[in-house]
Structure 1
Amino acid sequence: MNHQPFHHLHHVCIVVHDLDKAVAYYQSLGMGPWFDYPKGQPYVAFEVPNQAASDSMRYKCLDLANFQLQLCQPSLLDSPQRRFLDTHGEGVYHLGFEVADCDEAEAHARQAGVLPTARGRRADRSGFTYFDTRAGAGVVLEVRRTA
């Protein structure tokens, strides 16, 4: 796998007001099957702006031929996703990139001047880091390592 953190697209995440309505629309276009976001093992490190908001977000995922599509319905609690939805409406919130090593990818991004906004790591070092890239990239960028 390439050592550049933003090289291998894993998923595109779209925030929506009504998850069930959005899934039904995509299904009407022949896109499916949808599944709940697999939570995996618990995080040993979990740094997010609002844990209650993070815990209450609903996700549905669809594996396509070349990437995964994720739909996210944030709760009414304050979160970056909720603020995005309230300010910009439904749309692409982040691009998720698969990496071999989350810590290495995070360090590489930090060296480029990009700061994390949220991160989580499991005991096996799988997990995620979101970066503050909206001003420069127009979208949030995330690195993740699947367990």
Structure 2
Amino acid sequence: MTTIFDTLHHVCIVVHDLDKAVAYYESLGVGPWYDYPKSGPYVEFEVPNEAASKAMRYKCADLANVQIQLCDPGELDSPQRRFLDTRGEGVYHLGFEVPDRDAAEAEGRRLGMGVIARGRRADGSGFCYFDTRAEAGIVLEIRKTAP
């Protein structure tokens, strides 16, 4: 059965200290790390706090089979900041690559999942975070990588 959650793209871990976390992973041989490449502007962008979203810092490492993202949510209020404050460091979301961002978002909504945040670029790339914390223990995200 094919679902919108077939192809794991990344695991996002929220941390207190991004540089410290990167240094630890590097000491284990995980890396190289690079800044998350925030691509072109969104034609649709709905997040709980746009200033907090822009202030978040991410580092990524591409492994053979999946990407690890480390997220420092900053001090402004956001779902990631609240997660860190209430649960501590850990996996905030799993990101799944989809061939069609819009169709995957529609399918998630059809399945009854609420949306925390979403963004779409003119080229059809973008993301949608589903509020699956109560059922899955974490957030599930679908994303379409920019060409």
One fold, TM greater than 0.5? Answer: yes
Secondary structure in 2 matching 1:38: coil
**Which digits, 9 at most, give the CA deviation of each residue in 1:89-125, with x for residues without a partner?**
0000000000001110011111111011100000101
Moved runs in structure 1, 4+ residues, more than 3 A?
A: none
What is the aligned partner in structure 1 of residue 140 from structure 2?
141
> How many angstroms apart in 1 are the aligned matches of 2:44 and 2:2?
23
Runs of 5+ unmatched residues, structure 1 = none
**Which digits, 9 at most, give the CA deviation of each residue in 1:34-65, with x for residues without a partner?**
00001111111100000000000000000001
What is the aligned partner in structure 1 of residue 69 from structure 2?
70
TM-score, scaled to structure 2: 0.97
> How many angstroms apart in 2 are the aligned matches of 1:106 and 1:44?
16
Give the letter for the 2:139 counterpart. Answer: V
**Percent of counterpart pairs with the same letter?**
73
Give the letter for the 2:123 counterpart. Answer: D
Q: Equivalent residues in 2 for 1:44-123 (5 A)?
A: 44-123=43-122
- Give how far 1:3 is off: 5.2
Secondary structure in 2 matching 1:96: strand
* 1:3/1:99 contact within 8 Å kept: no
> How many angstroms apart in 2 are the aligned matches of 1:57 and 1:132?
19
> How many angstroms apart in 2 are the aligned matches of 1:28 and 1:109?
38
- Give how far 1:138 is off: 0.7
Secondary structure in 2 matching 1:31: coil
RMSD: 0.9
Runs of 5+ unmatched residues, structure 2 = none
Question: Does the alignment pair 1:22 with 2:26?
Answer: no
Equivalent residues, number: 146
